[in-house]
A and B are shown apart, each in its own frame.
Chain A
Amino acid sequence: MADTETKSSKMQDFERVLEGSEKGIASFDSNKKSGVERIQQILHSNPAFVPMIVLILSLLIFGFILGSKLFSPFALTLILQQVAIVGILGAAQTMIILTAGIDLSVGAVMVMSSTVMGQVAFRYGMPPELAVLAGFAVGGFCGFINGVLVARVKLPPFIVTLGMWQIVLATNFLYSANETIRSQEIAAEAPILQFFGEKIIIGGAVFTYGVIMMLALVFILAYVLNYTAWGRHVYALGDDPDAAELSGVQVQKTLISVYVIGGLICALAGWALIGRLGSVSPTAGQNANIESITAVVIGGISLFGGRGSILGMLFGALIVGVFSLGLRLIGTDPQWTYLLIGLLIIIAVAIDQWIRKVAS
């Protein structure tokens, strides 16, 4: 400090312009903050905070109205089962949105993977284990194409995945002839396809393997994104790809890897979908892309990339689940669910913008 003062006292001519400007040196936060700013700061550093509060509030409100109907182990774990598929897809969506991208093809890739798993096992009579691998190969391949088009050809992710969505869905229908493979046949000949439908029952609580896998996936990804170099690179390139490149992140490779992993997670969701439905149905999951984006947005993950927590996505998916089941148990028209979810989406984005101010 003393140094700066001596310099400013012997000001030279060209330094006149500095007169009246900020004299202090660069510094971080002052301690004098208003309450609102402090809240902004807390929300900025804990992006999963808002959705968590909303989740707890909605549970309390619906719990107050419905009592033990909602607060039974059965109903609470049912919500988990109902959001499992969206939660898994949401994990893929989160990673991609963190890179400032978006993936409209997640639902289609999921259905395509499940169709391939079914058809390889039944149409070609291959061992079911191989069928599962084939499903993963298809998911990973779709992700790879998306990734290459976004990272190397530099096409906007929205456009690339919009195209991929249509292509994959059409392929899915053409390839499968829209034929459903029934639950009984799968149970008899390829039970491994229904693996994620298996369940553990503790008291009244029912945990399917699909639910457990979704939770595990989210926690693993939360660790990977926060504590590994790769994870930090994903955040960095979403926030500012040029800065990330300059600081040594292999932007293209990382981006492609994000889309490939996203595709593999979609295939995992396809496998879990067979577990939930019992059957392989080419018409399933048609709105899953929108539902996964909804979970991500309500979960407080910024659509502009680089900020948000995957745990937030899980809370976002659960909020939708609580709303849907809660409103149905009260007996309201399902349209109200969409209306309220729509409101939540807009509020979530508004909060995101408001928090963003703290960073600027």
Chain B
Amino acid sequence: MKSIVKTTLVALAMSAASVTYASAADIGACLITKTDTNPFFVKMKEGATAKAKELGITLKSYAGKIDGDSQSQVAAIETCIADGAKGILITASDTKGIVPAVTMAREAGLLVIALDTPLEPIDAADATFATDNFLAGELIGKWAAATLGDKAKDAKIALLDLAVSQPSVGVLRDQGFLQGFGIDLGDPNKWGDETDARIVGHDVTAGNEEGGRKAMENLLTQDPEINVVYTINEPAAAGAYEALKALGRENDALIVSVDGGCPGVANVKDGVIGATSQQYPLLMASKGIEAIAAWAKDGTKPANTPGKNFFDTGVNLVTDKPAAGVESIDVKEGTDRCWG
């Protein structure tokens, strides 16, 4: 059954593609995000839409109903193939599970670019346009270690991660942070196997305030003296701050995070978060559309950033308390470039 559907779709795609070749000028592209409500993806859509308009590309956007809704994404890929699009930009919910659908699209002659979240394996897509999440983590780790100075060697660290399934983005940020802080990683492909006594524990947050608060409470019960808190993103950081505030310890702990959303940057300004690594979803999407336009024109595939297996869209550390040896931008610049 599945193969019949597949063949039909590919056939459909072929015929649709030949139709579009005939009309030539009309280039189609698809943007598939995890949800269409998360401000990060809203910004991504904004960047893609603006660039598509500029280049005269017809953009169709699809999204899962909730984060983790992989089925809707597969359906969206099938729709794009049938629609005769030239390329797909996708932020996959299930980085392994989406691969067969992506392969099908590539076989049908579409350029597939993973945005923000690399597929597994990373070369399942034609290219990946993303933040260097490991570097993003490393920056906040270095900043935290430099800010603590001598006290870094007696730090008590809480790590608030994304999910127990250890998705790549969560692992990269977490391990990057630990490396930046100067902690031995064990296996860099997973968190939780480190043996450093400074780590109080890991817990998961689902990347929202509620999870951040609960995870922080759990870890504070294990050790109320925690003074360094790594968080997967800024909503989790806001939740962790509330848990610390409930104990009156909000001024004793250093919270660091990743994302650079506008509420997050505002929290850096207010001192809730010490520093955050900012990524640029708008840039990822607009570069992605440019790549699809180039592919449609003469079949050029986008190139990776030298030395990396993806195209790096950049990351900046945002803080008003710069630390020696760690490059950063101030909150004002961070606010100008924030999303959401």
Which A residues are within 8 Å of any B CB, using their own CB? 69, 74-75, 78, 81-82, 173-174, 177-180, 182-184, 197, 199, 206, 273, 276-279, 281-286, 325, 328-329, 331, 333-335
Contact = CB atoms under 8 A, between A and B. Distances in A.
Contact of A199 (B164, B222, B246): B246
B38 interface: yes
A285 B242 CA distance: 17
B34 interface: no
Interface stretch (B117-125, B266-274, B308-316, B317-325): B266-274
Nearest to A281: B209
B201 A331 contact: yes
A173 B208 contact: no
Contacts of B51: none
Interface in B260-287: 263, 266-267, 270, 272
B226 to A, nearest CB: 14
Contact of B37 (A81, A178, A329): A178
B239 interface: yes
For chain B, give the interface size range.
20 to 34
A180 B246 contact: no
A333 B242 contact: no
Contact of A179 (B164, B217, B272, B340): B340
A334 B263 CA distance: 29
A331 B202 CA distance: 9
A285 B263 CA distance: 20
Contact of A334 (B164, B221, B270): B164
Interface in B221-238: 221-222, 235, 238
Contacts of A276: 210, 213, 242
Contact of A283 (B164, B208, B263): B208
B116 interface: no
A184 B66 contact: no
Contacts of B203: 328, 334
B177 interface: no
B209 A325 contact: no
Contacts of A182: 238, 263, 266-267
Nearest to A335: B164
B324 to A, nearest CB: 29
17 contacts: A81-B217, A177-B42, A178-B39, A179-B340, A180-B209, A180-B263, A182-B266, A183-B242, A276-B210, A276-B213, A276-B242, A283-B38, A284-B208, A285-B210, A325-B218, A328-B221, A331-B222
B12 to A, nearest CB: 30
Contacts of B81: none
B204 interface: yes
B214 interface: yes
Closest A-B pairs by Cβ, 3 of them? A173-B37, A178-B37, A328-B218
B241 interface: yes
A142 to B, nearest CB: 19
A52 to B, nearest CB: 24
B147 to A, nearest CB: 22
Nearest to B165: A335
Interface string B138-167: 000000000000000000000000001000
A281 B235 contact: yes
Given A81-B217, A179-B263, A278-B245, 7 more contacts: A78-B217, A183-B272, A281-B208, A283-B209, A284-B210, A325-B218, A334-B203
B281 to A, nearest CB: 14
Query: Which of B37, B201, B272, B340 neighbours the largest number of chain A CB atoms within 10 Å of its CB?
Result: B37
A183 B208 contact: no
B29 to A, nearest CB: 24
B214 to A, nearest CB: 6
A331 to B, nearest CB: 7
A34 to B, nearest CB: 45
Given A180-B235, A180-B263, A183-B238, A277 B221 contact: no
A197 B242 CA distance: 10
Contacts of B214: 82
B221 A74 contact: yes
Interface in B34-86: 37-39, 42, 66
Given A78-B217, A184-B272, A329 B238 contact: no
A331 B218 CA distance: 10
Contacts of A180: 209, 235, 238, 263
Interface string B178-216: 000000000000000000000001011000111001100
Contacts of A279: 209, 238
B204 A334 contact: yes
Contacts of B272: 183-184
Contact of A281 (B37, B42, B201, B210): B210
Given A333-B164, A334-B203, A286 B221 contact: no
A331 B210 CA distance: 20
Contacts of B217: 78, 81-82
Contacts of A75: 221
Contacts of B263: 179-180, 182
Contact of B66 (A82, A286, A333): A286
A329 B218 contact: yes
Contacts of B218: 325, 328-329
A333 B203 CA distance: 9
Contacts of A286: 66
A328 B160 CA distance: 13
A283 B209 CA distance: 9
B169 to A, nearest CB: 17
B42 A178 contact: yes
Nearest to A166: B65
Contacts of B267: 182
Interface centre among A182, A283, A333 (most CB of B within 10 A): A283
A69 B221 contact: yes
B42 to A, nearest CB: 7
B270 A184 contact: yes
